[in-house]
Amino acid sequence: MNLTGKTALVTGASKGIGKAMAFALGQAGARVVVSSRDQAAVSAVAEEFRQASIEATGIACNVGRFEDLPGLVSATVAAYGGLDILVNNAGTNPAFGPIQQVTEAAWDKLMDVNLKGPFELARHCYPHLKARGGGSVINISSVEGFTPSQGLGAYSVSKAGLIMLTKVMAREWGPDLIRVNAICPGFIRTKLSQAIFDNKALLSHVMDKQALKLEGAPEDIAGLAVLLASDESRFITGAVITADGGLTI
């Protein structure tokens, strides 16, 4: 799975799953643009990657600010001459509780960051991917997009929408040899999910449901991202792949 000569843009890449995927793509030979909201954070990650002999640049961007997305794409292309891989990883969950208690502001933020942002960014990346003769878009959804957990209803709606967006883009962009796939992680230990892992009763419930009695780590998603970015998956598009230890079986 050699990505030498390819350029990858990864959002939400300053920590957690995004950082692990960006690092793995770089280890496979890709030039990596690390993006998240904070410039200091992405600059630090890019420097860490360069110390590991990965060609990397940090470019700050809030995917929920749609007016900033063209600049992120332009800066990526200016830095490396083109774009081959987009990983829509940035996400948020400002609402926890019954769906009727979700405020309009929280709903809008969820949909802007988790669904509309990936759509808008992919749309701006499309002509550059097409100009390369094809490419790979990887959308990071969630197992919540299949079956909602208690208190995560609005988040689940956004992630279900991202799954359908993946299929629509795969269908429409296939003639341009742009492959679009989704990864649906289960419970992965990150800053966002730390409260789950700190709750022993809830963690025990999750482990009882999982086929593999293992705690998921960001690196468990990274290898799958490299596969979907590489030519080894040239015949895979529109796929929605779970990486959840068997939670959804």
Residue 155 annotated as catalytic: yes
What 165-171 contacts at long range (C-beta under 8 Å, 24+ apart), as own/partner pairs, is 165/115, 165/118, 165/119, 165/139, 166/137, 166/139, 166/141, 166/238, 166/240, 167/238, 167/240, 169/122, 169/137, 170/237, 170/238, 171/238
Of the candidates 168, 192, 190, 191, the one whose C-alpha atom is nearest the C-alpha of residue 181 is: 168
Question: Of 49, 80, 155, 173, which is the active-site residue?
Answer: 155
Amino acid identity for residue 106 in this structure: A
**Distance between CA atoms of 125 and 116, rounded to whole angstroms?**
14
What lies within 8 Å, CB to CB, of 49 at 6+ separation is: 22, 23, 26, 32, 34, 56
Euclidean distance between CA atoms 59 and 117, whole angstroms: 16
What residues act catalytically? 155
